[in-house]
Amino acid sequence: MIPVFIGFDARENIAFHVLSESIHSRASQPVSITPVSLSQLGDLMWRKKDALQSTDFSFSRFLVPYLSNFNGWAIFMDCDMLVLDDIAELWKLRDDRFVVQVVKHDHQPKETTKFLGTPQTTYEKKNWSSVMLFNCAKCTILSPEYVNTASGLDLHRFNWLESEELIGEIPHRWNHLVAYDAPVATDQISNLHYTIGGPYFNDYKETEYAKEWFEAREAVLKCE
């Protein structure tokens, strides 16, 4: 069973379900999908919302190893994504030399706002944490206490690791930043990330790769 945790924000409810469908419809192995939802975390998440926080799961994503009982491996993904490949191919990339594996973007957005007027921020390792392969047994520092008290930058810049050498790299195709990365054929992309705003928001209905997202939404609604 491949455990996948997806960040959940009620403002992007449809995004969660479309991403889930895109994973299940292409998976060659059994997959369990768990929403990282504040309403389900209860006392595990008590930190106040940060003014720069764009989603409900900005920080709760780092509870995935705890939710996995610090056992085995787990995948975390933002909800504003669309998987175009077999998630088992990402799962195969697990490497015990590392504590966490990510796509190592050099993402430096110039705009100051993104979807729903939320603030756009720039920091080292931006978007590295949007897709993570967690080696959960090696992430014991990520207790609820730590996740609730560490600074956002410490979490997202992986300052909780003893060394940057413990951050492994996965192929860029697993976190293609829509409207930032140069457009390529979809057979060269495993996962689309609509980080500036998904097609489910009116302002981004005509963003790059919107067609693929709307086709996936239709698959969610299919009933025969």
SS3 annotation, 64-79: HHHHCCCCCEEEEECC
10 or 66: whose pLDDT is higher? 66
Mean pLDDT lowest among 26-30, 92-96, 111-115, 178-182: 111-115
User: Contact, 177 vs 107, CB < 8 A?
Assistant: yes
- What is the C-alpha separation between 82 and 163, in angstroms, rounded? 31
Domain count, the chain: 1
* Mean pLDDT of all residues in 40-63: 86
Map tokens 């956002």 to a residue: 152
Of 222, 59, 214, 50, residue with least CA distance to 142: 59
Per-residue pLDDT of 158-174, as tens digits, reads 999 999 999 999 999 99
Mean pLDDT lowest among 23-32, 53-62, 68-77, 157-166: 53-62
CA 214 to chain centre: 20
pTM value?
A: 0.91
Signed CA dihedral, 20, 22, 23, 27: sign only: positive
Check which CATH number belongs to the domain holding 188 and give it: 3.90.550.10
Of 170, 211, 176, residue with least CA distance to 190: 176
Query: Which residue range(s) make up the domain with 86?
Result: 2-221
- What is the C-alpha separation between 82 and 21, in angstroms, rounded? 9
Map tokens 């995948």 to a residue: 75
